[in-house]
């Protein structure tokens, strides 16, 4: 009996034959990469099933199994994780320019005016111009020094506020966020747009409480593992609801930033030729007017940079000081040693100033140890390889997303004795610094993509913490012991405490110092 094929069968056969032929022809010349070791990926999801709600901890455990350079797959995209000093140096120094790009993410698209900020903008003329702007103008040593009085005034306000709350339980993050936010808004925006008096006078564009929520949401959404970023064909479904939240947040921020830019432009218009830049938004608007810029800085770019400056300057300081106090409350002997240093160097008749910090090595050691154990960005901001690269016989193809796990480096037993123990003493007599040159300690990153405002953040952290320890006794609320103080974190672009620190504060200096602080 003769087999009769349906009319479409021959067409299918031709298509299949063509596909196989094309695969044979084009596959023959395709390079076969020797990727770093890592777990076998699943179809579609890759290794996303191995990443929990705290990705930095999941990846740390995987790196202990697969080594200091590890290959993963997040959905459709290859990912390489470096988790040693040598790997950090490879990605952030030796081949920094190769890994200077950023992956395209929903957060960059929806919360930073379509990648118009410093953090998420692609490597190229626009980003290079922005980086130069930060280094030479916005965060120059001269400009930061000119704003020292602002930092001093806001730290004094913090001390007065805490004195007013003495004897009761305080939620420390609220106070720390307020001082950081006031410092940064005065430097960037020219005034405290967000204190209760100002919002009452100007009409409420947003409230301080709402704005702090916006900052927390911004950092969370910029660090989450959004499924659509890994599996693009699922992006439209917004399975986790993150994109909806990003769009809502973007509208809220834009309402505030439009108000800020309008006010600054109005002052420039009224003052005309006599106008002098007083804050960072003024400087940005002057750049926007510069016809000689390689890439035109548009209004959206000004707003994106402004948002970057406010968010970056607020979150890192508040999170780090809160973690430092948390660790000290669990280790009273460290608290005692810090107090002894402050009493010896500062005395009990004045407050700590920024100029005192070089003479307070133990306070500096506490800050460094806090940043080792609780880096604000535990895997830094993801990078993207711009071309094929190799290391130790392994290939890293162009288009690979790169994570540098400073969390793992900070817990490497080859580098640190008892790495899970909070021991500031390890930094006494140790010349390791946080300025991006010592790869054992990289809380602000390193290389071209290093946080441009790290020096400002460091100043606020050091002087705030020093005065909190100098001016007050701290203890846990009644009924809470050191052992049951939770040290859990939540993950985003920053890694704050899961449960905000609550403590009882008591003044320990002369009463007149708090009145004049």
Cα dihedral 237, 240, 242, 248 sign: positive
**At which residue do the structure tokens 């002369």 appear?**
510
CA–CA distance, 367 with 364 (Å, rounded to integer):
5
Is 134 annotated among the ligand-binding residues? Answer: no
Angle between helices 454-471 and 299-330 (to 10 degrees): 30
CA–CA distance, 229 with 309 (Å, rounded to integer):
25
Which is nearest to 106 in space by CA: 222, 250, 240?
222
Structure token pair of residue 320 = 């780090």
Structure token pair of residue 221 = 């959404």
What backbone torsions phi and psi does residue 504 show, to the nearest 5 degrees? -100, 130
CA–CA distance, 276 with 289 (Å, rounded to integer):
14
Structure token pair of residue 323 = 């973690």
E-strand stretches of 150-283: 169-171
**Sheet arrangement for strand 77-82:** 69-74, 77-82, 401-404, 383-384
Q: Phi/psi zone of residue 84: left (φ > 0), alpha (ψ -120 to 50 degrees), beta?
A: beta
DSSP 3-state of 350: coil
The number of beta carbons lying within 10 Å of the beta carbon of residue 410 is: 22
Q: What is the dihedral of CA 184, 188, 191, 195, to 10 degrees?
A: -40
Q: HEC states along 60-127?
A: HHHHHHHCCEEEEEECCEEEEEECCHHHHHHHHHHCCCCCCECCCCHHHHHHCCCCCCCCCCCCCHHH
CA–CA distance, 181 with 200 (Å, rounded to integer):
18
The number of beta carbons lying within 10 Å of the beta carbon of residue 421 is: 11
Instruction: Tell me the H-state helices in 331-446.
Output: 332-345, 361-373, 406-409
Side-chain half-sphere of 376: how many Cα atoms within 13 Å?
27
Side-chain half-sphere of 128: how many Cα atoms within 13 Å?
7
Q: Which residues are annotated as a binding site for heme?
A: 451
Q: Which residues are annotated as a binding site?
A: 451
């Amino acid at each position: 009996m003769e087999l009769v094929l349906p009319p479409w069968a021959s067409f299918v056969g031709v298509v299949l034959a063509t596909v196989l032929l094309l695969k044979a022809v084009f596959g023959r010349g395709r390079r076969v990469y020797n990727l770093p070791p890592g777990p076998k990926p699943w179809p579609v999801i890759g290794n996303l099933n191995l990443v929990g709600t705290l990705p930095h901890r999941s990846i740390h455990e995987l790196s202990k199994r697969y080594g200091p350079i590890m290959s993963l797959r997040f959905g459709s995209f290859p990912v390489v994780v470096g988790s040693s000093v040598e790997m950090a140096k490879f990605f952030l120094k030796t081949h920094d320019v190769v890994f200077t790009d950023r992956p395209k993410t929903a957060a960059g698209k929806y919360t930073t005016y379509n990648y118009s900020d410093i953090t998420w903008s692609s490597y190229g003329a626009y980003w290079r111009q922005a980086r130069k702007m930060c280094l030479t103008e916005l965060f120059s040593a001269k400009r930061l020094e000119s704003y020292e009085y602002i930092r001093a005034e806001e730290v004094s306000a913090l001390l007065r506020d805490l004195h007013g709350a003495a004897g009761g339980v305080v939620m420390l993050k609220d106070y720390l966020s307020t001082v950081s936010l006031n410092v940064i808004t005065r430097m960037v925006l020219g005034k405290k747009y967000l204190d209760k008096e100002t919002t009452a006078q100007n009409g409420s564009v947003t409230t301080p409480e709402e704005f702090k929520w916006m900052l927390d949401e911004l950092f969370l959404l910029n660090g989450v593992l959004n499924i659509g970023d890994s599996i693009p064909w699922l992006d439209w479904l917004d399975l986790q609801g993150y994109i909806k939240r990003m769009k809502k947040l973007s509208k809220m921020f834009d309402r505030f930033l439009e108000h800020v830019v309008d006010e600054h432009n109005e002052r420039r218009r009224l003052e005309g030729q006599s106008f002098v830049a007083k804050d960072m938004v003024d400087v940005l608007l002057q750049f926007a007017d510069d016809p000689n810029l390689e890439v035109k800085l548009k209004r959206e770019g000004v707003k994106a940079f402004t948002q970057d400056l406010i968010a970056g300057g607020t979150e890192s300081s508040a999170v780090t000081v809160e973690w430092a106090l948390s660790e000290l409350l669990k280790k009273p002997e460290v608290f005692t040693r810090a107090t002894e240093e402050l009493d010896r160097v500062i005395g009990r008749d004045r407050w700590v100033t920024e100029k005192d910090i070089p003479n307070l090595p133990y306070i500096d050691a506490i800050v460094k140890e806090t940043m080792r154990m609780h880096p604000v960005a535990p895997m830094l901001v993801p990078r993207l390889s711009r071309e094929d690269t190799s290391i130790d016989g392994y290939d890293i193809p162009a288009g690979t997303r790169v994570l540098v796990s400073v969390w793992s480096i900070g817990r490497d037993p080859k580098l640190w004795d008892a790495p899970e123990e909070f021991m500031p003493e390890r930094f006494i007599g140790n010349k390791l610094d946080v300025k991006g040159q010592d790869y054992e300690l990289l809380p602000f990153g390193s290389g071209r993509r290093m946080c441009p405002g790290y020096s400002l953040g460091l100043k606020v952290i050091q002087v705030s913490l020093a005065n909190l320890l100098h001016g007050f006794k701290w203890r846990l609320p009644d009924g809470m012991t050191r052992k049951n103080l939770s040290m859990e974190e939540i993950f985003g672009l920053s890694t704050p405490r899961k449960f905000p620190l609550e403590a009882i504060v008591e003044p320990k200096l002369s009463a007149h110092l708090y009145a004049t602080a």
